[in-house]
Structure 1
Amino acid sequence: MGLTSEDMECCICLQPYSRTEKIPRMLHCKHTFCGPCLQTMSSLQSGLLTVRCPLCRWITCTGSILTLSGSLWVNTEIWDQILDRQQEEEEEEEEEEEEKEWMGANRQTQTTTQYECSPSGHSGLRLKLQKFLRRMKHKVL
């Protein structure tokens, strides 16, 4: 059973899971949320950190010695998919970048070709300049 795009984001903050800031952590009820949202939902009661699952209302308790993120399991199914999706996105970005570079080089080639193929516009200017210089030469002499 594959994960959907909805499974790849925290249903509280709607941000995609990541391997650095939005790590997918599982409560004891097996529902998964990002670490920062779990930290926000947690409360300290009688020396225990508790989190009530917003989906099933199950209460997960951990010792206050560890941080909540440090005491909850990472959802490895999502964790493995994060790297695969990041690699796919990076490859897509690289392809887009290469396409932009190719298009830019192609435009420069077209522009250069247009100037090289139409020297007649420059020859008219050259003739006018030559006539002007001859007139100036005759006036000076």
Structure 2
Amino acid sequence: MSQLAMGLTSEDMECCICLQPYSRTEKIPRMLHCKHTFCGPCLQTMSSLQSGLLTVRCPLCRWITCTVPILTLSGSLWVNTEIWDQILDRQQEEEEEEEEEEEEEKEWMGANRQTQTTTQYECSPSGHSGLRLKLQKFLRRMKHKVL
């Protein structure tokens, strides 16, 4: 099921503080008690110890989430499973798209080599393939942000 079908936008798939995409390793999406979600490192940065409790004030609604300091912040806050489930799907889609683009690039390069004349060899298209792939990746990211 796509992110839009689940009601998730591309903004929902990234931490609104650091603007980095959530991941299953470093930027795990964790929910405060107010149900707003941020990545673990940003929550850790926002946390403070007050009256023997580890507290995090939500930057969106100002609700204060308190946890016991015995547990780590990541150990006491729930993972946003709606986002968590979409992380792997999104990564798989991007990998499949990249593989398709690489295959198309190889096909194009093969067809282009057959039609090149000797004067066209001065500037090899293979030298530009990295730029083309970077541009395609950039445009794909921009498309996801617009959606």
CA displacement at 1:47 relative to structure 2: 2.0
Instruction: Identify if the C-alpha distance between structure 1 residues 62 and 90 changes in structure 2 by more than 3 Å, giving closer, same or farther.
Output: farther
* Dislocated runs of 4+, deviation >2 Å: 88-102, 108-141
TM-score by length of 2: 0.67
Instruction: Identify if the C-alpha distance between structure 1 residues 140 and 32 changes in structure 2 by more than 3 Å, giving closer, same or farther.
Output: closer
Structure 1: runs of 5 or more not aligned: none
CA displacement at 1:103 relative to structure 2: 1.5
Equivalenced residues, count: 141
Query: What is the identity percentage for the equivalent residue pairs of Structure 1 and Structure 2?
Result: 99
Deviations 1:104-138 (A, max 9, x none): 57526857999999999999999999999999999
CA displacement at 1:93 relative to structure 2: 4.0
The answer to whether 1:101 aligns with 2:107 is yes
Name the larger-Rg structure: 1
Task: Indicate the RMSD between aligned Cα atoms, in angstroms.
Answer: 20.8
CA displacement at 1:64 relative to structure 2: 0.6
CA displacement at 1:70 relative to structure 2: 1.3
Deviations 1:2-30 (A, max 9, x none): 20000000000001101111000000000
Higher relative contact order (CA 8 A, sep 6+): 2
Counterpart in 1 of 2:3?
none
From 8, 12, 15, the equivalent of 2:17 is: 12
Structure 2: runs of 5 or more not aligned: 1-5
Deviating more after overlay: 16-25 vs 80-89: 80-89
What secondary structure sits across from 2:106 in the alignment? helix
Distance 2:123 2:80 in 1: 63
Instruction: Identify if the C-alpha distance between structure 1 residues 38 and 128 changes in structure 2 by more than 3 Å, giving closer, same or farther.
Output: closer
